Amino acid sequence: MEVEFVKMEGLGNDFVIIEGEKYPDLNYSEFSKKCLDRHFGIGGDGLLVVGKSQKADIYMKIFNPDGGEAEMCGNGIRCVAIYARDSGMVNKDEIDVETLAGVKKIFITKDGVKVDMGIPKLHPDEIPVKIEGEAIIDHPLRIKGKWLKITCVSMGNPHAVIFMEPDEDEFKKFGPLIENHKIFPKKTNVEFVKVIDKNTIRVKVWERGAGPTLACGTGACASLVASHLKGLTERKADVYLPGGKLIIEWGDMGHVFMTGPANYVFKGIFLRND
């Protein structure tokens, strides 16, 4: 089967975008494993399937390189909004996007794409994480003989935020072990955070189902929420990831807003049939 696609990126977090209506019989989970392979496929951190929605303007489905489906993707939703507007799927700059984490409102502006990421969830049952309590802040977790402190947040998908700056060996060791830890029934994304000042943090991300990525929008949001909960930052901060900067604000009404870029890379036709 020939599959038309567009390649886009947000801070180096790169995606293959296809229109669902064109390929209703395609097994997206299996297709993602093939097309996201960086040696034998197109290459990317995620497959984004977009189409018209009955609940919103458009829907977005997200599939990781391991074939798993994710609830939400902050960098991906910015790309999808730009693609939907430019392709004529929608004809406006304020777009409602249906995801597994609910309907998200997108604002396309001259300064970038702003996303209402919703209200973060902190109760362990909603993340989910198998730890008792009302909120999980600085909970000790022993990994390979080392005690780490995790703060757990859901931005529609699970996140474990750790305030440390790991070296490369620690990052590659702790990332997958925490992602797949038994206390996370749906696995988890992992963020390693260094606080620079009250308005600036630096984040390195190990993404669930993808591993190291240059950026993670929901991870940036979770990191800001965790930083503020611990009294380390204000409610708005510049979040620097390996791929660049996102502006994250936890508004007074509880919603988290993310602003960042979304860019085209190339388009083509995927021909691999095996």
The one-letter amino acid at 225: V
Could you report the per-residue pLDDT of 67-91, keeping only the tens digit for each?
Answer: 999 999 999 999 999 999 999 999 9
- Report the SS3 class of residue 199: coil
pTM above 0.85, yes or no: yes
Backbone angles phi, psi at 86, to 5 degrees: -70, -30
Chain-centroid distance of CA 184 in Å reads: 17
In the residue annotation, 79 being an active-site residue is answered as no
pLDDT for 1: 81
Q: Which residues of the chain have pLDDT under 70?
A: 274
pLDDT for 161: 98
pLDDT for 150: 98
pLDDT for 61: 98
pLDDT for 21: 96
The one catalytic residue in 79, 152, 216, 221 is: 216
pLDDT for 274: 63
Question: Where is 204: in which H helix or E strand?
Answer: strand 200-207
pLDDT for 272: 75
pLDDT for 241: 98
List, in order of start, the domains of the chain with CATH numbers: 3-109+261-270 (3.10.310.10), 124-254 (3.10.310.10)
In the residue annotation, 152 being an active-site residue is answered as no
The one catalytic residue in 35, 73, 79, 152 is: 73
